[in-house]
A and B are shown apart, each in its own frame.
Chain A
Amino acid sequence: MHPAAATPVIEFRDISYRVAETQVLSGFNLQVQSGETVVLLGRSGSGKTTSLKLVNRLLSPTSGEIRVKGVPNTEAELIRLRRSIGYVIQDVGLFPHFTVERNIGLVPKIGGWPQDRIRVRVQELLQMVGLAQEIALRYPHQLSGGQRQRVGVARALAADPEILLMDEPFGALDPLTRDELQREFLLLQQRLHKTVVFVTHDLREALRLGSRIALMEAGRLVTVLAPKDFLRSSDALASAYVRAFGEGLESAANRGTS
């Protein structure tokens, strides 16, 4: 099926968002198709995180609308909308007073799943994100940064949402762990085909993980390009990024083959 023919899973329609006197987003249009990973790339303050939070209505646009699976997200019931969208943030935000198992199982639990099904699901998810089963009984403070973010991803996947919003999920990790998690993300994505919106300021990460890269600057969408096209782009900002990140980007963009 040609992607343009299908209803986009997420669609930003002429979004503007302002806080007090600051125009955070303006004229923002973007479609995210089923199963693709769109990376929002840009510097701090370019509006990436804001765009993400508009999808699960942690923020509401000043004007314009966001459609999720063809329906304006304001028409969906807020809590149900959020439970159908996985959300992963840089600071993870695990509940410090819950074990890993309870953290991961929380959304299924409030969704009314029976206890034994939750337990099975937690085990399955731990395995999926590369964590040992015995981690289930630990508390967040007993985990390393990489383990914590793995739990964060598992928690977001718990109720098997079709959509995943990821806000610089690997930004706070050391380079080796980040590399590991990026690799696992790709493997996971090959299996699960979630529709992902991924925020980062790291071009290397964008090239590696994105099906398409949406480059943002000062609240506007500059261009949307596939990773390989991004490297050859004549766009001034895109080429500035490529120059700033220097050598070795080709291999990041060739994720399938490396």
Chain B
Amino acid sequence: MNVFRFIWQNHGQVLELTLEHLRLVGFSTLFAMLIGIPLGIVIAHRPRFNKPVLASANIIQTIPSLALFGFLLPVPWLGERADRLAILALTLYALLPIIRNTYTGIRGVDAAVMEAGRGMGLTESQLLFQVELPLSVSVILSGVRVAVVISVGLATIAAAIGAGGLGEFIFRGLAMVDDRVILAGAIPAALLALLADFGVGWLERRLQPR
């Protein structure tokens, strides 16, 4: 129970790093949604862009995270502040599940429903906002959920480039060979991931079309 005593004694810092962590994950997920959902919609409607877009997102995903942080470090505006850089990197990682699920969700809308809608004289934007998005929102959110859970874990590595977050404890603990310090970062991070998973999962079920 040493760990919990340690966390209690340092609760101010744990809280601060948790908030930093949340900020990294929150912004990167938001940006990834702002980019990924429209991109997913575009490739669902224009299948010839589907392969290149999904392949690029896939390739990004295969770059080891530490290496990606390193690659981005020399970029002028980004390199100035570690948190900017971390948010960009996390955004890039979050793209794939969001794009892929948006694509899958929209492609999964019953063709007969789309044909009927089009035949009735719905415009493309009416079809998108009244039919396609409402019917795929839960699939899209399950992509967001995967993205958030990945980000919470990956964001711990952001501490390696000085972006803060719960990874600070983990790296510090590794350097000090002190399990308590490592766990003071790892436990809140794990809880955060569970909480995000549960929260977005709840939203997903709430918005599930009948």
- A residues at B contact (CB < 8 Å): 56, 58, 79-85, 87, 89, 91-97, 106-107, 110, 139, 141, 152, 155-156, 165
Cβ contacts under 8 Å, A81 to chain B: 121
Query: Is A96 a contact partner of B116 (Cβ separation < 8 A)?
Result: no
B112 to chain A, nearest CB (A): 3
Query: Is A82 a contact partner of B210 (Cβ separation < 8 A)?
Result: no
Query: Is A97 a contact partner of B122 (Cβ separation < 8 A)?
Result: no
Majority secondary structure, B binding face = helix
- B residues at A contact (CB < 8 Å): 110, 112-123, 126, 130-131, 134-135, 209-210
Query: Is B121 a contact partner of A95 (Cβ separation < 8 A)?
Result: no
Q: How far is the CA of A106 from the CA of B126 in the complex (A)?
A: 11
Q: How far is the CA of A168 from the CA of B79 in the complex (A)?
A: 63
Q: How far is the CA of A89 from the CA of B118 in the complex (A)?
A: 12
Query: Is A97 a contact partner of B120 (Cβ separation < 8 A)?
Result: no
Query: Is A87 a contact partner of B135 (Cβ separation < 8 A)?
Result: no
Query: Is B120 a contact partner of A139 (Cβ separation < 8 A)?
Result: no
Query: Is B119 a contact partner of A56 (Cβ separation < 8 A)?
Result: yes
Q: Which of A79, A92, A93, A141 contacts B210 (CB 8 A)?
A: A141
Q: Which of A93, A107, A165 contacts B110 (CB 8 A)?
A: A93
Determine the residue in chain B with the shortest Cβ distance to A152. B116
Determine the residue in chain B with the shortest Cβ distance to A82. B121
Tell me whether A92 and B121 are in contact in the complex, defined as CB-CB below 8 angstroms, given that A97-B209, A110-B126 are known contacts: no
Q: How far is the CA of A139 from the CA of B115 in the complex (A)?
A: 19
A194 to chain B, nearest CB (A): 16
Cβ contacts under 8 Å, A93 to chain B: 110, 112-117
Ordered by A's residue number, 17 sampled pairs between the chains whose C-beta atoms are within 8 Å are A79-B121, A79-B123, A82-B119, A83-B120, A85-B119, A87-B119, A89-B119, A91-B110, A91-B112, A93-B115, A95-B117, A95-B130, A95-B131, A97-B134, A106-B120, A107-B120, A152-B116
Q: How far is the CA of A56 from the CA of B118 in the complex (A)?
A: 10
Tell me whether A89 and B115 are in contact in the complex, defined as CB-CB below 8 angstroms, given that A82-B121, A83-B120, A110-B122 are known contacts: yes
Query: Is B110 a contact partner of A80 (Cβ separation < 8 A)?
Result: no
Query: Is B121 a contact partner of A107 (Cβ separation < 8 A)?
Result: yes
